[in-house]
Structure 1
């Protein structure tokens, strides 16, 4: 690497580091606000909050790094052009590809980091994050139930206790259980106690009433199109128990947590264990996720080449070149939108998976062709008369 390459690469690397960390911190701050309730409302320590939200950072970096590679490359080369440094370098006989060498090195480093994130760090951090989140919402339900507060245990179970005795007995309990779709249950009890169970904590209720709304299908002699009716079933009990750890979402057989595509490795996505009994819809999603992980890191190189094609294929002035800049930024925005669209299409129909690779490879190849001077592109020839007019009188 020559001194000139080191000069450009140093500016690119410092800017990429600063912009990526700053943007990731901003995204982390906005996304972590939804976990503040774990600290404020549910009594967990601030250290747990930091560790839990810190597991989201690898996925943020995997998404942000290709974008910041484009932004930094475009900014640095446009600034070099505006300061006439690129003019001097071209006058010294340096070609576009020679000028682009530091940015290409930086883009390749970004591709390597993105592959490490996509193939290793992101699945591991997502698995740890969801396991910890599942434990907080379900296995630690005993500490989440507070007196005088409607405590949500998962997405479909709410528990309220008017107060708690010194021995841990809950008084004046209301429990709303919507885990059985179409048949929510509301339980009112005088007292209850949270005890350990085989699948996690459970609450044993005493002297209460169980109310359940059920949908009753119309009788056989009813006219066609008659909607079903609802029926309220009320049952009084002296003792009843409800499992707080069992939730209807995110669990498999036996109460085991079902792992989604983001938590699985490439091998698990392409060759899932038959014992998991993965639905056909998720099998298509797993295959699309595997190809997206293998193809998406190439966006860092493709976006870097788009930035180079934008900055090196035209002349930028201090007060001009805005249209070319806008075009380069618009191209990347369109590519990001196409990436989301192709990912969703491939997850629904695996025949669309080649579009993921086209979206990852085509922009870089097209930008490289532009940097090379668009060889083979028909050029307008200047007629002799026009050439004479262009030269003007001697």
Structure 2
């Protein structure tokens, strides 16, 4: 790498590092606001808050690194053009691809970083993050209960307490437990207290009623097609307890892992013993291809930025249309990428759209940087090429 390459690469690398860290910090700040309540109102330690939200950072970097590669490449090369540095470099005999070499080196480095994040770091961090969520929901459920609020512990258990005494006693309790399929239970109690249990926290209730709706099968001899009836069972009690740690599947030590926290091998070759639904298998395949194709966006977006900055004349008060066009191209590509990913998750036959959205912009940008061979050369295009070559 020549001294000129090092000069341009240093500007690109410093800008990429600053913009990526700044944007990731901004995204982390907005996303972590939903966890601040656990620290301020529910007693979770600040160290746990930092660890929990820090596990989200690798996924942020994996998403924003291709975007910041485009932004930094476009900004640095446009600045070099407006400062007439590119004019001097072209006058020294440097070709388009020679000028693009530092940006291509940086984009290649971004691709490698994204592959490391997508294939190893992000799945591990997402698995740890989901494990924290599972533990908070099942083992630390006591901190989720807030007076005067309907608190959801999981997807099928809701607890409400009118207020909480200084000694921790809950008053005016309502518990709706839908973890038993087809037999939801509603419990009303005057008081209760969170107590430890063998599988996690339990709420011990005093002086209340237990109401359960059950389906009663039709009696023998009923006409065929007779629908079952429902029956409301009401039971009064002086003391009862509800396990807050038991999940709807009756599992306390395991949980279902989604596509984001599985490794590439688990996505492409899932364990048959898990009996994964067909819908999730399609999502796994689409997620695997997105992990393999996504990092290449850094190279494609970098090429789009180079095609925008190196094939036009940028003056201090001109070139805004070309800049706007390059930015809009990347915005449209991001939108198409989200759509293609969703479609591929529904129908694996549409997975080639994911790769086409990643590779096509880079190939077209290479063609533009090469002078668009085979394209009819109009006057405007001829002037553009004249500005691009010494």
Q: Gapped runs of 5+ residues in structure 1?
A: 383-394
Structure-2 residue corresponding to 1:268: 266
What is the TM-score when the length of structure 1 is the normalising length? 0.87
Pairwise CA distance, 1:380 = 4.5
Give SS of 1:256's match.
coil
The answer for the alignment partner of 2:28 in structure 1 is 28
Relative distance call for 1:213 and 1:319 in structure 2 (3 A) is farther
* C-alpha distance in 2 between matches for 1:199 and 1:16: 48
Give the 3 Å change call, closer, same or farther, for CA 363–229 of structure 1 in structure 2.
farther
* Equivalent residues in 2 for 1:190-229, closer than 5 Å: 190-212=190-212
Query: Aligned partners of 2:209, 2:308: CA distance in 1, in Å?
Result: 70
Aligned match of 2:383: none
* 1:95 aligns to 2:95 (yes or no): yes
Which of these residues, 299, 302, 306, is aligned with residue 300 of structure 2? 302
Unmatched segments (≥5 aa) in structure 2: 381-390
TM-aligned CA deviation for residue 215 of structure 1 = 8.2
| Partner residue in 1 for 2:388 | none
Counterpart in the other structure of 1:316: 314
CA contact (8 A) 1:252 1:258 kept: no
Taking structure 1 as reference, are residues 125 and 273 closer, same or farther at Cα in structure 2, changes over 3 Å only? same
| Partner SS for 2:241 | strand
Contact 2:115 2:295 in 1 (8 A): yes
**Residue matched to 2:72:** 72
Deviation at 1:210, TM superposition (A): 1.4
Report deviation, 1:182: 7.1
2:122 is matched with: 122
Question: What is the TM-score of this pair, normalised by structure 2?
Answer: 0.87
Asked if residue 357 in structure 1 is aligned to residue 355 in structure 2, the reply is: yes
User: SS of the residue aligned with 1:94?
Assistant: coil
Cα distance in 2 for partners of 1:53, 1:90 equals 47
Distance 2:2 2:105 in 1: 13
Deviations 1:37-78 (A, max 9, x none): 111221111111111101000000000000000000000001
CA distance in 2 between counterparts of 1:270 and 1:376 reads 41
Shift in Å at residue 330 of structure 1? Answer: 0.6
In the TM superposition, residue 366 of structure 1 has moved relative to its aligned partner by 0.8
- The DSSP-based 3-state class of the residue aligned with 2:33 is helix
Query: Once the 2 structures are TM-superposed, how far is the Cα of residue 304 of structure 1 from its aligned partner?
Result: 0.1
CA contact (8 A) 1:81 1:316 kept: yes
Distance 2:338 2:145 in 1: 39
Check whether the contact 1:246–1:255 (CA below 8 A) recurs between aligned residues.
no
Moved more, 36-45 or 212-221: 212-221
How much is the aligned-residue C-alpha RMSD, in angstroms?
A: 2.9
- What pairs up with 1:47-58 in 2 under 5 angstroms? 47-58=47-58
